Amino acid sequence: MSAEEKLSELNIQLPPPPSPGGNYVTHKQSGDLVYLAGVISFAVDGEAWEGQVGAERTLEEGYQAARVCGLNVLATIREITGSLDAVEEILYMGGYVNAIPAYGKSPSVINGASDLFVEIFGEKGRHARAAVSVAGLPRNATAEIQVTFKVKAS
């Protein structure tokens, strides 16, 4: 089943792709590799996904915030390529969790995005990854991810 078919089967509606929040571009492409700028957990379905995990947000809410980041990444990929089916594989994801000091469960939070990618792309969605806690993120977002993926040869 293709990624677009899987998205439809799961009844997942992608949000509009996010716009850059500063003096940068959403992505850079070099050959068949595409590097995405960081994508934060901004409002989807009326939910802001702001605040620190371990303070204002629970682990489960952090997981959902990371999933929102993943949805925003998918929307960006579709905007860039025209279809999620153009993705050969997800290669790398850097995940950042706005969390209290010494928060040690950032990998469990970032699984929200990782699980989504595997759900949509299957084995092609498995990726290398970092997941770290940070003292703050832009707009007090709960999570942020950066993704590198490979596109199919055209």
Residue 21, in any domain of the structure: no
Domain hosting 43: range is: 3-11+27-151
Q: Has residue 41 been placed in a domain?
A: yes
Please choose, from the candidates 114, 152, 141, 149, the residue with its C-alpha nearest in 3D space to the C-alpha of residue 27: 149
Quote the pLDDT of residue 115.
98
The full 3-state SS of 124-137, as one line of letters, equals: HHCCEEEEEEECCC
Structurally, the chain folds into a number of domains equal to 1
Tell me the CATH number at 71. 3.30.1330.40
pLDDT at residue number 44: 61
Q: Is residue 33 part of a domain?
A: yes
- Are 114 and 106 contacting, i.e. CB atoms less than 8 angstroms apart? no
Mean pLDDT of the chain: 95
pLDDT the model gives residue 43: 65
pLDDT (tens digit per residue) in 13-35: 999 998 898 999 999 999 999 99
Of the pLDDT bands very low, low, confident and very high (cuts 50, 70, 90), residue 42 is confident
- Average pLDDT (79-87) is 97
Q: Name the one residue in this structure whose structure tokens are 């409002």.
A: 43
User: Confidence band (pLDDT; 50, 70, 90) for 122?
Assistant: very high
Specify if 108 maps to a domain.
yes
Check pLDDT > 90 for residue 112: yes
Taking only the tens place, the pLDDT of each residue in 129-142 is: 999 999 999 999 99
Residue 46: what pLDDT? 57
22 in any annotated domain: no
Instruction: Judge whether 59 lies within some domain.
Output: yes
Is residue 19 included in any domain, yes or no? no
Within-domain flag for 52: yes
